[in-house]
Amino acid sequence: MARTLINVPPKAKRGQVIQIKSLISHVMETGYRRDATGQPIPRDIINAFVCTYNGVEIFRADLHQAIAANPFITFFTVATESGTLEFKWTDDNGEVETATAKIAVE
Amino acid sequence: MTDIQDSRPNSQPTRRSVLRTAATFAAAGAAGAAPFLTVRRAAATPETMKAAIAKVIGEAPVAIGKVTLDIPPLVENGNSVAMNVNVDSPMTPADHVKAVHVFNEKNPQPNIISVHCDPRAGKAAFSTRIRLADSQNVVAIAEMSDGSLWSDTVEVIVTIAACLEYN
């Protein structure tokens, strides 16, 4: 569906609060615009974003049309253990895009 | 508008009656008595924002404080506005932020984003980029683990609105 870009620190100390940055390329079509022939352009936005850390949900966001194109979301989590962070975006058509990032916790 | 009916039965509208009708409509429109004549863009209003807030968090009282909503006060391009939300919370299992909801007044629809988190976040903060259709107030409301609600409101001036209609 789209290209994604994730920024997770590759290494962290146990208990450290780390910042996670996520970006996905998506038009986030609001449904309020019209094309050159005057036809309304149907709504097509990413409406849900979930981040899991070794399978446990740590962050979830419900997005609306007021989120700019190419949704960029940053948030924080505590580095608890080495493992994988999985990111999942779902759009109006039910298409799902995922991305993963590894983190090593000392 | 009954005074502008043509008295002659089954007649085509005369030039005079058409002119009179137009004049009446213009006067009524200027006086604000004919709301169906005024063209309005689809837009959320402070009332619809209040309704959207009530839908998400219910009718519980919302206190001001603890939340810091950081948006530049003067925005050149409403298509992409950096927004930063920070909630003052220790993020312990006993006292943490459960959710943060952000709303606007004048976009076509009032919701912006709802974020759900738990003590594992460590720090109750997030940032994203939003669209703003007009100069307006943006409200962030944080839902705490004890059920209390805290908010912050920021007034933003937008010089170029997000493309909503013909662009």
| B119-159 confidence digits (pLDDT tens) | 999 999 999 999 999 899 999 999 999 999 999 999 999 98
Alpha-carbon distance of A88 to A60, in angstroms, equals 10
A63 CA: distance to closest CA in chain B (Å):
5
pLDDT of residue B29: 46
- The pLDDT tens digits for B54-72 are 999 888 899 999 999 999 9
The conformational region for residue B161 under phi > 0 = left, psi -120 to 50 = alpha, else beta, is beta
Cβ contacts of A72 on chain B, cutoff 8 Å: 128-129
B11 CA: distance to closest CA in chain A (Å):
37
Q: Cβ contact (<8 Å) for B121 and A61?
A: no
The CATH code that applies to domain B46-160 is 2.60.40.2470
Q: Cβ contact (<8 Å) for A66 and B117?
A: no
pLDDT, greater one: B147 or B160: B147
Best A16, A20, A32 residue to mutate vs chain B (most B CBs within 10 Å): A32
Radius of gyration of chain A, Cα coordinates, nearest whole angstrom: 16
- DSSP structure class, residue B148: -
pLDDT of residue A89: 96
**What domains does chain A contain, in order, with CATH numbers?**
4-30+42-105 (2.60.40.10)
pLDDT of residue B159: 87
Cβ contacts of B132 on chain A, cutoff 8 Å: 66
pLDDT of residue B164: 54
Q: Cβ contact (<8 Å) for B113 and A34?
A: no
Alpha-carbon distance of A67 to B114, in angstroms, equals 11
- Across the interface, which of A64, A68, A76 has its CB nearest the CB of B121? A76
B82, pLDDT greater than 70: yes
Alpha-carbon distance of B142 to A32, in angstroms, equals 29
What stretch of H or E contains B89? none
pLDDT of residue B34: 41
- Predicted TM-score (pTM) of this structure: 0.79
pLDDT of residue B36: 45
Q: Which residues of A7-39 are buried (b: 16+ CB within 10 A; e: fewer)?
A: ebeeebeeeeebbbebbbebebbbebbeeeeee
Q: Cβ contact (<8 Å) for A58 and B117?
A: yes
**Closest CA in chain A for residue B126:** A75
Q: Cβ contact (<8 Å) for B113 and A69?
A: no
